[in-house]
Amino acid sequence: MILSSDNSEILPVANDIGSELALLRKNYATLLIELSQLHEHGTREARHLWLLHFGPRECRLQALQHRLQRIRFEIKLRQAAANRGEKITAEKIREEVRREFENAKKALERHAAEVAQARKNRLKPLTAEEHAILKKTYYQLVKKLHPDLNPALPPGAKKIWTQVVDAYKSLDIQTLQMLADLAEMELEDADSAARDKTPAQLASEANALGEKVEKTKAAIARMRKEPPLVFLPLLGDAVKIRERQDALGREIAGASGRLAAAREILAAMKSPKNPSGEIS
């Protein structure tokens, strides 16, 4: 019984609201787990698969596009100098190009490193049994320790919750089980401080939790429609994967052709026969 009172009319109301609140908490806990799994595991796996299947081709295409943009920028610099009747040095061009594309170069390097790492360290997913244990343990801890479900958590339990999140992200089952034991001790110590709530307090808590449930549902729906999760159907279809790889191959060939053409233009501008640097 949730509320201790001599008023026989208040008790049923409080218990009904309490039951509704308990159901909302259970539903919210389930949604939080789904959201966390989508964010931590779903997006990571989707991103990893994307890098494995398409990363090298995408990275090569980006590198070609980057080189093409640099050459076009150099052509633009030389043409602008020629129009002004000025002579621009190679050192000046290199500095202007470096400054213009410094951030893009760093981003490309990071992407290349990410691709290399993904291909070096293939995902080693948990077994079905291990994943079930991880999910069950985390689900139990969410209900007990998540701040949204337990706003009056003692400081020690809040600290444990932070460690629980880290362990779950790392797929560390043993640490998660250890934290579950620690959480039990911490909550038992704080249990004596728990107090009964009035129907109005319970109703307010239920309304607030109901709003959080709807917002979480919306967040899950939105996440499923955004990259990289939206690509999961593609990543599970060998035919679509091959089609995408072929499309990237055609884009690479096209970028290579444009790069070669730009190089010819730049070579002509740098030729001794064209000291002005103008494009005919």
Task: Return the domain boundaries, the chain.
Answer: 19-192+211-270
CA dihedral 208, 209, 210, 213 (to 10 degrees): 130
Q: Can you tell me the distance from the alpha carbon of 147 to that of 124, in angstroms, rounded to the nearest whole number?
A: 31
Q: Can you tell me the distance from the alpha carbon of 44 to that of 276, in angstroms, rounded to the nearest whole number?
A: 53
Q: Over the chain, what is the mean pLDDT?
A: 82
- The predicted model scores a pTM of 0.61
- Which range, 27-36, 123-132, 183-192, has the best average confidence (pLDDT)? 27-36
Compute how many other C-beta atoms are within 10 angstroms of the C-beta atom of residue 230.
Answer: 12
Residues 190-221 pLDDT 10s: 654 444 567 777 788 788 888 888 988 998 89
Residues 146-160 pLDDT 10s: 998 888 888 888 888
Residues 160-186 pLDDT 10s: 898 898 888 877 777 788 788 778 767
Q: What is the pLDDT of residue 174?
A: 72
Instruction: Give CA separation, 255 vs 114, 143, 201, 250, in Å.
Output: 22, 53, 65, 9
Q: What is the pLDDT of residue 36?
A: 77
pLDDT surpasses 70 at 8: no
Residues 246-272 pLDDT 10s: 999 999 999 999 999 999 998 988 876
As a 3-state breakdown, the chain gives helix, strand, coil percent values, each rounded to 5, of 80, 0, 20
